[in-house]
Each structure stands twice: as C-alpha cells, then as structure tokens.
Structure 1
Amino acid sequence: MERALTGPVALTMPDGTLNPDAIGWAAQLVVDTSALGAGLGRNKRWEYWNVATPTHIIGLTVSSIDYACVHEVWVYDRKTGQTWGEAATVIPARGAVLSPVLEQGRSMARAKNLAIDIDETPTGTRLRAQIPGVSVDVIAALPEGHERLALVVPWSATRFQYTVKDVARPVTGTLRIGSVDHPLPAGESWAVLDHGRGRWPYDIAWNWGAGSGRSNGHVIGVQVGAKWTAGTGVSENAFFVDGRMHKIHGETEWEYDIENWRAPWRVRGGGLEATFEPFYNKVTRTDLLVLKGHTDQCFGHWSGTFTPDGEAAIEFTGILGWAEEVHNRW
C-alpha cells in the first residue's frame, strides 16, 4: 500500500531538497509547492489541460522548464480530422506565469500567435486561449466533493515530482473556429488536468493514459501511468466513479506496439482490466540540442472493468481519452 498524505505538507525543505513527509498520494490538494524555487536543479512547472467534446478535442499547455518555456494550443476536429495549432518554444524562458500552488493564483502564457489564460472562479477553472483562427473560452467545473490524484514521486532528495491528475471535470463554454461558434454540450464534455511541479532526471520515459465520460449511469474517470514511477514506491494509477477516487496501488502493466498504434492497447493491474482503442495519433518530435522529445499521444476510447477491493466489478465502455508514450531529454 502506498503512503497516503493526511494533511497539509510542504513539498520541499528550507534548503530546497525534497521533504520526505511529502512522499505519497492524496485525493485532494494538500501539498504546498510555493517554495520550489529554492535549492539546486532545474525546476519544471506546467499546466496541461485537455478538453474533449463530442465534436472536438482541445489541448492547452503552459510550461516553464527553467531554461525554456514550451507552450501549445491544439484543436482537433473529430469528424473531419482537421487540426489547428500553434506551439512556441521560448529560449530563454519568458512570457509565462505559473501559479505557485494549484488553484492559488493564475497561470498564463504569451508568445507569437499564442495566448493562454488559466484563472480560478467560484465554480471551477476558466480556460481561455487564442491562436489565429481559433479561440477557446470554457469553464472546467469543480463539483463539490470531487476528488483528484495528487502524488509526490521521489527519485532522490534533489529529483522529484509533484503531479495532480484531475480527470472527468464537467466543462461548458465555447470553441470558436473562424466565424463559427461550437458550444460545448453540457454533460458530454470533459476536461482533464495534468499539473506538474518538480525537478526531473534529464533522460526519462513514461506512459500516461486518461479518460472521462459516462457509462452505465456513472461518471467514469480513468488515470493510469507507467515507467517513470517504477522503483519509487508510488504510482499514478487510479479509477474514479462519480467523482470518488479508488487508488490503484502499484504499477500497471501496459501492452501496446507504438509502430502499430491503431491496434488495441491493454492496461491491467490493481483490479483494472482496460482496453484502449485509438483513432488518432498526435505525433510530436523536438530536437533543440539539449531539449529533445518524442511523443505519441493516441486519442481513442477506453473500455473494460474495474473491481474495487471487496466490491462488485464496474463495467465501462466508450470513455474518451488518450494513451501516450513519451521519451524526453530535458
């Protein structure tokens, strides 16, 4: 069983090293990351929001990896396959604000042909973005009692990551493409957040999968990961039913072939037996000398069963999301 965090705790010690008391997981935001700037090592901070609707998929990234800022706005039309996007790698890092603590301040990015604003509201998080020909203005609601996976991953006293994976956030608002407004259908549109604050090893790989939707009368959230947490004593695996988190302890097993990404992916472990069937691969390659990245983010649908300890199996199908393979040198 992975260690549960039961109360407020600082991520770092006064000298900037990892606070051992912060290692573990929680279902709410109990970790204070405001002192991350102290100490040695390159700090990496980001907000990645994905918004999925019956017609479109939207990705928004605001990030600072110490020596550079990397931002992106991306939109995919699920019917036509058309995409719109702008990405910016800004060296040296400038033009970005990242909140010191999640939901305690705004985050924003400004670069050529790109603007992103992330602001907290009384009902949730407002996401706004603009690139040529596209604008986004939506609210990712935060229902009362909604749980999310907050996790501190330790590699060493000087290399560690705090991540919040928040899935199945109901979202409403408008996506405008050209002169056409696309209102997000309430009850059918979902937002997922990946919030990150930490200091990473230079060379690392990971899998991440997430999904949100309704199935068999329940709101389902899928959150799975692999590789990057191996050997640390914690994992980023969880399953959500109607806003309640069931922590999956230990690593999940992944079976897939990135050269044949359209074939079903399979993820299992801790009561989860899941199949992921992709329909689109968002391929990103970066080679800027010290900064190199290789990402295949496949979008599709999750289905399968999850069996909580001592409870009946929960069946789910048609849960829209993604599974990805990433290898970064950063």
Structure 2
Amino acid sequence: MLTHEREITEPVELCLPDGRLNPAAVGWTRRPLHRANLRGWGRAKRWEYWGVVTPRHVVGLVASSLDYAGVHGVYVLDRESGEEWGRDAVVPLGRGAVMPDRSGVGTAEARGGGVAVGTREGPEGTRLRAVAPGIDVDLVVAAPAGRESLGVVVPWGPRRFQYTVKDVGRPVRGRLRLPSGVYEVGGRERGSGGEGGPEAFAVLDHGRGKWPYRMRWNWAAGSGGGVALQLGGKWTDGTGMTENGLFVDGRLHKIGDEVEWSYDRSDWMRPWRMRGPRVEVEFRPFHEKVSRTELLVVGSETHQCFGYFGGRVRADDGMWVPVDGLVGWAEEARQRW
C-alpha cells in the first residue's frame, strides 16, 4: 500500500539560485527537511497557521506574509456555548512579519491592527503566543521524540509551487484568557464553564511557496486516541503529489491517491464525505466558521466546519484503521491573491 510518491530523506533547498522550483525538492518527508529559500517579490506566500482543539474550545492562529499584505488572525470558539471571539488584521505589504525559512526552527512574528501572533521553538516544543481584544493565548505544543509530520512539495510548474508541512495531533498545554474566563489547557481543562476531558491537541500548517492568482482547496485534519488524519484536495489535483496521510501512534502512513470530496455548498452543516482507494471517511460538523476578505483585486472566502470524523483509512500494511470519533475540521477555501 506504499505511495508512489518520492520520499525525501536528506535536507534540500526548495528553490534553485534563480528562484525557480528545485526539481530535487519535489516529494514528501516525515520531518521538515526543506529550506524555503524563496527569492524576490511577487506571488510569494508565507504563513504559519496553528489550530488547537481542546475539550472546551477551538483556537485558530494565523500569521502570514502574502507580498502585498500580511493577513493575521486570532479566533476562539467555545464548543459548549457556541460563542466566538476573534480579530483579523490586514497589514499593508506585510510590514513587521517575520517568517523563518525552515519549519520547526526559529521564531515567527506578526502584529498589526490590534492583533499579535508569535511562535518560538524551544526545548519544550513550540510556544504559541497571541493577543487580540479580550483574548490572550499562551500555549506550549510538545514535540514528542520520534513523532512524524507530513511535508510535501506540490509542483504546478517551475515558477508556481508550494511547500507545506502538516503536523497533526501534537499534545498541547497552557492557558486561554477569554472574556468568559481563564481556562487551563492540557491534562484536565478547567474554567468558568466547568471542566472537560483530558485530550487537547494542536495542528500546524506551515506554508511557503509561489501561488497562481486563483486557487481553491479543501483541507481536513482531526485527532483522537493515538490516531490523526490529514486530507487535502483540489489544489494538488493533477500534480502527482497529495497532502494525504494517516498518523498512528505518531507514525505517518503517506497516502498518494487523490481523494474525492463531496459536500453541500448550500448547507455546509450537512455531512461531508471523502473517498479514495484508502479513504472512506464521513465528517459531521457541529459548527461553521465563515471568513471573507475583499481588497479590490484580491479576496478570499473560507467555510471551515468543526466536527467529528467517522469511517476508516487504510494503513501502509493494508489494514483498515477506524477514525470514528476523531475531532477536528474540514474546510473549503477560495482565493484570489
């Protein structure tokens, strides 16, 4: 059941000296090995997105530099009450945004418009700090020894390409300060609304590349009980690469087949289905988050639904692994950028 895609096992630079895609960089990894040595201005996109799921809350943090602007955001959902808090900011030309050229090292920082988001790698793992009106996020995402992530280079052509790292299901602890109270994350979560269960996890989306003007993608990620799921679609179609994978006890099972997504764009809360030779998954949302941005010639619309997964995914040894009860999200994003 092993994927046909090439596994990269040694450090490699994403770009050639002239800024074009390095053919040797096309493939996938079990740990970050690419250096995103993007050159020049124009169509280059860099971002760090962290999604955190706790028994009580869902947190989304983004810091980005998109050439013409930095788009940063902090979002929190209370899963019990349905209450949402957040702030998005657009900073012209991405001024002040710091984006390291390697995943898992250094510091990323972005601020403006009442939002500050930062990540710093250290001995304990990744520290996440974010501040917005009424919100203060201070979390540490552990990096257990031997745990694998999924890195992929998607080639649309020599001058249009994307490097992504998806690290799904990492344990997280720390504190959330919200208008509704202070909540401890990790172990058992306590706050003004009571306590939840023991499991809290974080998901990283590290992105570096040069994109076409228009693009649409699907992304799903979920975790629970030692199993984590990462699925993508549309943006990788026809490139020979996918960002699909299953994690079992921290080990990546890379899935090279494209996955077919079906969902109702007139009712995002209806079940979503993902199907492929190794994927038989249904996703049932409990909340929809809608984000829209319009800045003249650029714009975006994202429908991100949080919910529960069910079904099964086939591991490298051919055995089907149940994914029933995994919690996370599925989304559709449309970009003009």
Alignment TM-score, normalising by the size of structure 2? 0.93
Structure 1, residues 17-66: CA drift from partner, whole Å, max 9, x if none?
A: 00000001111111111x2124x632100000001000000000000000
Match for residue 280 of structure 2?
Answer: 273
Q: In 2, Cα distance between the equivalents of 1:180 and 1:23?
A: 46
2:216/2:335 contact within 8 Å kept = yes
Answer yes or no: is the 8 Å Cα contact 1:41–1:158 preserved in 2: no
Following superposition, the deviation at residue 177 of structure 1 comes to: 1.1
Match status 1:283 vs 2:286: no
Aligned to 2:13: 10
The secondary structure found in structure 2 opposite 1:259 is: coil
Structure 2: distance between partners of 1:179 and 1:84:
10
CA RMSD of aligned residues (A): 1.3
Q: Which runs of 5+ in 2 are unaligned?
A: 188-197
Kept in 2: contact 1:248–1:270 (CA 8 A): no
Contact 2:253 2:316 in 1 (8 A): no
- Tell me which residue corresponds to 2:203: 192
Scaled by the length of structure 1, the TM-score of the pair is 0.95
Separation (CA, whole Å) in 2 of partners of 1:43 and 1:208: 21
Cα distance change of structure 1 residues 83 and 206 upon mapping to structure 2, 3 Å threshold: same
Deviation at 1:178, TM superposition (A): 3.4
Q: Which amino acid aligns with 1:232?
A: T
Query: Cα deviation per residue 1:248-284 (whole Å; 9 max; x = unaligned)?
Result: 1120011111212121111122422111000111101
Aligned twin of 1:47: 48
Does the 8 Å CA contact 1:2/1:250 hold for their aligned counterparts?
no
**Alignment map for 1:1-330 (pairs within 5 Å):** 1-33=4-36, 35-38=37-40, 41-178=42-179, 180-186=181-187, 187-214=198-225, 219-330=226-337
For 1:193 and 1:165, how far apart are their aligned partners in 2? 6
Contact 1:206-1:327 within 8 A present in 2 as well: yes
* Aligned equivalents of 1:295, 1:65: Cα separation in 2: 17
Q: CA, structure 1 residues 264+105, in 2 after alignment: closer, same or farther (shift >3 Å)? A: same
Tell me, yes or no, if the aligned pair for 1:10 and 1:32 is still in contact at 8 Å: yes
Give the number of aligned pairs: 324
Q: Is 1:263–1:277's contact at 8 Å kept on the other side of the alignment?
A: yes
Provide the C-alpha distance between the structure 2 equivalents of 1:107 and 1:90, rounded to a whole number of angstroms. Answer: 16
Q: Deviations over 1:190-216 (max 9, x none)?
A: 0000000000000111111111122xx
Distance 1:194 1:117 in 2: 14
Q: Distance in 2 between matches of 1:269 and 1:122?
A: 39
Deviation at 1:104, TM superposition (A): 2.2
State the alpha-carbon separation in 2 of the partners of residues 43 and 329 from structure 1.
13
Counterpart Cα distance in 1 of 2:114 and 2:51 = 20
